[in-house]
Amino acid sequence: MLLSGRTALVTGSSRNLGAVIAERLAAHGATVAVTYRQSEEAARELVAGLAGSGHVAVGGDLADPAPLVAAAQEALGHVDVLVHNAGPFSMTPFAQMDEAEWDVVWDVNVKAAYVAARALAPAMRAAGWGRIVLLSAGSAYLRNHSIYGLAKQALAFLAEELALELGPEVTVNAIAPGQIAESADDIAGFDPSFVARAIAHTPAGRLVTRAEVAELVAALCAPSFDMVTGATLPVDGGWRLQRF
């Protein structure tokens, strides 16, 4: 119960990876704010099934994150752990992309992380303890995943700078999962051969799971990670390593 007595806000957590992260943080003792944009029913079902009590579902659009963050903060009383998981995907080439698509992907992936951290960090620092975990992605290492790859690489930079600004009370790290096994069908809609190629290129011989990523998020809040800040941890079985 390494998070007993702590509270956590997990963005984009009504389903998929975010939901598993919420489950793991709750299992470790945290009281969790689950956020949703459209899936209110799914969010409330998730909250009802989380270990422990006091969990809440908070709705809002992370394109304008301040109201959602404020609502979560009010519902929980305070926020000790921020996990920014929300992040829409795009592979539209830059030369063909309109500004509206750029804005959605960039704002939810990157700007929302900055706005949430800015809002929550003062109370974390005043309390003497806080953890911020940003979900980057293996796409940060590629140069053909367009605005999504750029946004996910920006989160690594943001984690480094926030670590400098918010220490020593708050640690800030990013996690960069490779292709997640349970989301294989999603990427296949963009690139049908991606999953097979990813597995063939990965020294571990398989894809990472949502549970593995979620457990690392929780671990970054543990005392054993107190001296880890400003890091981006790739969780991809070695997929990112180039070979010639």
What is the side-by-side strand order in the sheet with 56-59? 56-59, 31-36, 7-10, 81-84, 130-135, 170-177, 232-235
CATH number of the domain at 112, please.
Answer: 3.40.50.720
Residue 190 has a pLDDT of 87
> Residues with catalytic annotation?
148
Q: How many domains does the chain have?
A: 1
Tokens 């975010």 map to which residue? 18
What is the per-residue pLDDT for 244?
Answer: 82
Over residues 55-70, the pLDDT tens digits come to 999 999 999 999 999 9
Instruction: Evaluate whether residue 134 is within a structural domain.
Output: yes
pLDDT tens sequence across 95-136: 999 999 999 999 999 999 999 999 999 999 999 999 999 999
Structural domain boundaries enclosing 153: 7-234
Q: Is residue 97 part of a domain?
A: yes
Report the alpha-carbon distance of residue 22 to residue 11 in Å, rounded: 9
Q: Can you name the residues that pair with 109 across neighbouring β-strands?
A: none
Percentage of the residues of the chain whose pLDDT score is greater than 90:
96
Does a structural domain hold residue 98?
Answer: yes
Residue 239 lies in a domain: no
Per-residue confidence (pLDDT) for residue 15, from 0 to 100: 96
244 in a domain, yes or no? Answer: no
Confidence of residue 192 (pLDDT cuts 50, 70, 90): very high
Q: Is residue 1 part of a domain?
A: no
Give the model's pLDDT for residue 243: 86
Task: For residue 132, tell me if it sits in a domain.
Answer: yes
pTM of the prediction? 0.97
Q: Is residue 241 part of a domain?
A: no
User: Roughly how many angstroms between the first and final C-alpha of the chain, as a whole number?
Assistant: 45
